[in-house]
Structure 1
Amino acid sequence: MNIQRSHSTWAALAAMLFLWSCSGAPEDGLAQTIALFKDTPEYSIVLEDMKQDGNFVKTPYHQYRVYFLQDLPGEEPKFRTHETGWIQVSEETFKKYEGALGMTIAMKTSKGEESTTPQPTGYQYVGNPQYGQWRTNSSGDSFWEFYGKYAFISSVFDVFESPFKRKYYNNYHNNYYKNRVPYYGRNKQYGTAGSYTRKTKPNFYQRAQTREARSKTKFRDKVAKRTYGRSVTRSSTSTTSKSRSSSSRTSRSRMSSSRSRSFSSGGK
């Protein structure tokens, strides 16, 4: 089974998403996206990109890739995908998911369980007998294997360790998922600060480096202007002071010379 995109019902939904994302809606973009997919049997919303635009007042934006299962009467359920444009989100949402780049930040499982806690993409399908099964290798280790028609899940999300061992999954599921705690991988390789994310989303980090370099340049320019201004002021003050001092000395010299001539004349 492949992730498909072509269907009249899906086309209508895609059109609604496109129009909404271009409308500059003031409401929170994540909440709106969740609402659009609430009636699908299963979905995961992945934070593809994020940014803040504006010179004085920064406006936060997200970009999502949505994977969802569409179940239509008389048809086999199909996984579909949609990429949104830049969608405005609230400051609260932006801060909450600032460290979750490339991760699933909202989802609904086939059991109807919903979560907005960050986790690696595709993890929600592991452990679900609908998509695969646990197998045991020659060393006695239990690992997850997707059924053939769902093998695309591993390649689409490309975050699964090979083999994906049950002990790792149990740690994630029991200590993070159940407790609603963000999970960034055994080695913290996922999320904004993760090594995996840095490899797969270079554009985000290039933009960050450009902004940092631009900010440093502006700061240096401000410092240079202030330093130059103080230097010019000191130079001007010093010149004025010297001029006044010289003028004062000249005046005193003239007065002294005048008194000397007057004294000399009076003595004759």
Structure 2
Amino acid sequence: MRKILALISFLFLISCTSQETFKKNPVDQLIVSMTNVNNFTIILQDIDAEEHLFSSDHYRQKFKVITMGADSVPQTKETEWYEVSETFFNLHSGDIGMEVASKVDGKLSKQVSPPGYSGYVGNSQYGQWKTNPSTGTSFWEFYGRYAMMRSVFGMGFYGPVYRSSYMNYRGYHSSGRNYYGGSSGSPRYGSYSSGAQKSNPSFSRRMSTSSSFRNTVGSSVSRSPARTAAGSRASGYKSSTSRYGSGSSSRSRSSSSGGK
């Protein structure tokens, strides 16, 4: 009898593991659906989690897809909620407002990047670097016909894109690391940034009012293989015990502190 019970437990464990391993990845689904699209950006719009005492927890994610339409006019679409595995939830729980996949001139990347950075900021087809005569700092400005892209990517919530920050991003990107900007413990981009709080009031409200949701997000960020603990407690959410900082992407697992 003990052997039979042990066998049943083993088979049950294998079944749960298989379901976790082979649960569909919504980002890959979206990528496949746009095989013939040469330029697109997939941004993580929102995340949610429901804890269950006697059954599996439920994890969900929602995305914004940006494609370039006729005359290079950006088209946006917000997806439905997707059920995701715990592993995939953990991987991207800190990436709200960030690009989680993009294709630029037919070249696909699943490197996590700040919104608009992978194919539009720094691209002379869409804008130029300008210098503030008072401060001497250089910042990105879209050409008039592409001015709407700042709104499409939600850049207004994060402030100007300075050339120094963009160059830091390029350095991180070339070595396979995710770039969140800001100082240690206070990222400029991602779920714990003030920009994400402003751009996604629903997520911000859940983080502020639900300790279980806040703890789920915080613990998943700390467990993510794509991040390392860095800096002090994230600001803006009371009683949060999670730590958050720039880390390596799926291409690189080395530890790193956040750039400025």
Task: Answer yes or no: is 1:106 the counterpart of 2:101.
Answer: yes
Deviations 1:154-200 (A, max 9, x none): 133232666533222111112x1212211112341221122221232
Deviations 1:177-236 (A, max 9, x none): 2122111123412211222212322212333454427999xxxxxxxxxxxxxxxxxxxx
Task: Answer yes or no: is 1:123 the counterpart of 2:117.
Answer: yes
SS for the counterpart of 1:164 is coil
SS for the counterpart of 2:71 is coil
SS for the counterpart of 1:106 is strand
Higher relative contact order (CA 8 A, sep 6+): 2
Distance 2:110 2:84 in 1: 15
State the match for 1:221 in structure 2: none
78 and 92 in structure 1: CA distance in 2 versus 1, 3 angstrom threshold: same
Distance 1:212 1:135 in 2: 44
Q: Is the 8 A contact 2:127 2:141 kept in 1?
A: yes
Query: How do 1:103-252 residues align onto structure 2 when only pairs under 5 Å count?
Result: 103-110=98-105, 112-124=106-118, 125-138=120-133, 140-159=136-155, 163-174=160-171, 176-187=172-183, 188-212=187-211
SS for the counterpart of 1:153 is helix
Distance 1:38 1:64 in 2: 18
Distance 1:77 1:214 in 2: 39
Q: Is the 8 A contact 2:47 2:61 kept in 1?
A: yes
Q: CA deviation at 1:45?
A: 0.8
Q: How many residues align?
A: 186
Equivalent of residue 81 in structure 2, options 65, 83, 86: 86
TM-score w.r.t. the length of structure 2 is 0.63
Q: Which has the higher helix share?
A: 1
Query: How do 1:62-73 residues align onto structure 2 when only pairs under 5 Å count?
Result: 62-70=61-69
After superposition, the CA RMSD in angstroms is 2.8
Q: Is the 8 A contact 1:120 1:159 kept in 2?
A: no
- Which letter does structure 2 place at the counterpart of 1:32? Q
Which sections of structure 1, spanning at least 5 residues, go unmatched? 1-24, 217-268
State the match for 1:247 in structure 2: none
Give aligned-pair identity as a percent: 35
